Amino acid sequence: MNESVSLTDLRQGVRPVDHPAVRTGRIGVLLLNLGTPEGTSYWPMRAYLKEFLSDRRVIETPRLLWWPILNLIILTKRPGPKGRDYASIWNNERDEGPLKTITRNQAERVAAHIRSIAGDKVTVDWAMRYGKPEVRERIQALLDQGCDRILLVPLYPQYAAATSATACDQAFRALMDMRWQPTVRVSPPYHDDPVYIDAVVASMKKELAKLTFEPEVILVSFHGVPKEYLLKGDPYHCQCVKTWRLMREAFGWSPDKFRMSFQSRFGKAEWLQPYTDKTVEALAKSGVKRMAIVAPGFSADCLETLEELNGENREIFMHNGGEEFAYLPCLNDSDDGMRVINHIVERELQGWI
């Protein structure tokens, strides 16, 4: 370094002439969601499934058993059918999955909100745990803009190791390779946050008011995980149950009318119960003719809501005697949805802005 710089200059932040350029003093916010394939054809689907199902947080089966199953069976047979499922909900205008479209919109709306509070001091970005945009790439982009403090916001109301934790893992892997790490905060799960519960209930009431029928039963469906994960200490199940209970109390409905279940299981192991598809089938066979289903554990509509709930489970209900079925959309980038995300971001940035 140039030793001619005076002590006064150093105190005033003046750098020697040969000092490398450094951008600091800004704050970054990174919204994190699950991910989506880059296309619906075989190879993009295979790449996405391989990254997702190779994650040890998602599949805890010993590698010696899992790798042959994954590489010789699943990655050979599943890309085709899954690609067709994605094609049924694909955003053809932007050539991307709806989860990517919605998460981008959420980030843009958060940026506008924070700009109204903190001016241009904060940069808001978004990334996907699996697929693109990559977490490492977007953290580096924030650093390049001078963000020496970054708030990570996993967009999962209920914490699970296979969702919130693995998103943070990916961010921490990027930090491990950095000489100058930013200061990092992680927003906590918000399964019982009054703003979140109020927004979900308000959104549901608006959607229910649009229906031409009154549901006899509303089913609250959360993404499932193997029961073994609960027994190992994952708090996900308990947080889902609390969300459901708070929603039910807000509506003032009985457990018979306002039920909960878990969807998206695969494999032969026992998952969290009751299962959504089995519950829908049982409701129809018991004589329920009108039902609605909602998925408050998803911050944005995706394959599991648009194709699985609104497609597969609608078909199950109608095939077994049901007559009226409605899927109530996620909060997405609606005003209610943004009220939740803006609340979380603004709260977790306290002391920084």
* Residue pair 126/132 in contact by the 8 Å Cβ criterion: no
**Beta-bridge mates of residue 222:** 262
Nearest of 244, 225, 245 to residue 235 by alpha carbon? 225
Distances (CA, A) of 170 to 55, 180, 223: 10, 17, 21
Q: What is the DSSP letter of 36?
A: -
- Strand segments (E) across 15-137: 26-35, 122-130
Contacts of 295 (CB under 8 A, 6+ apart): 220, 221, 222, 223, 263, 304, 305, 309, 330
What is the H or E stretch that residue 171 is in? helix 166-176
Question: Quick count: other Cβ atoms within 10 Å of Cβ 9?
Answer: 12
Residue 319 marked ligand-binding: no
d(CA 326, CA 346): 34
What is the H or E stretch that residue 271 is in? none
Residue 223 marked ligand-binding: yes
**Beta-bridge mates of residue 226:** 271
Q: Three-state DSSP class for 225?
A: coil
* Residue pair 87/292 in contact by the 8 Å Cβ criterion: no
Q: Which amino acid is at 313?
A: N
- Both tokens of 164, joined, read 């919130």
Q: Is the dihedral of CA 36, 42, 48, 54 positive or negative?
A: positive
SS3 content of the chain, % helix, strand, coil (to 5): 45, 15, 35
Binding residues, as ranges, are 223, 304
Binding residues for Fe(2+), as ranges, are 223, 304
